[in-house]
Amino acid sequence: MPSPLSREDVAHLANLARIDLSEAELERLGAELPQILDHVAAVQEAAAADVEAMSHPQPISNVFREDVVTPGLTPDEALSGAPESEEQRFSVPRILGEE
């Protein structure tokens, strides 16, 4: 059986992912993730060091188009799903700290 991740390990990952997990969720993921990682770790033995990495099915890079102005969303359309908006802008909670 793989060793569980510590509560602190999972809390750190959840913080990086900006998800405020509950204590119960932290505990459950701490037990589940090592089982999954134990399975997927097989990739480490499968690939030799000199095999090139593949990030995408197509060998494409930098797809350009002509810089032509085309119609986009109106401000009302763009804001139609916003939790809060004001004067044609997204309204968000404070983004600066207290200090």
Sites of contact with other proteins (CB under 8 A): 10, 13-22, 25, 29, 32-33, 35-37, 39-44, 46-48, 51-58, 60, 63, 65, 73, 77-78, 80-84, 90, 92-95, 97
**How far apart, in whole angstroms, are the C-alpha atoms of residue 27 and residue 21?**
10
The least distance separating other proteins from the CB of residue 64, rounded to whole angstroms, comes to: 9
If you write DSSP's letter for every residue of 5-24 in order, what string do you get? PPHHHHHHHHHHTT----HH
**How far apart, in whole angstroms, are the C-alpha atoms of residue 33 and residue 4?**
8
Beta partners for residue 90, in sequence order: 85
The least distance separating other proteins from the CB of residue 8, rounded to whole angstroms, comes to: 13
The least distance separating other proteins from the CB of residue 6, rounded to whole angstroms, comes to: 13
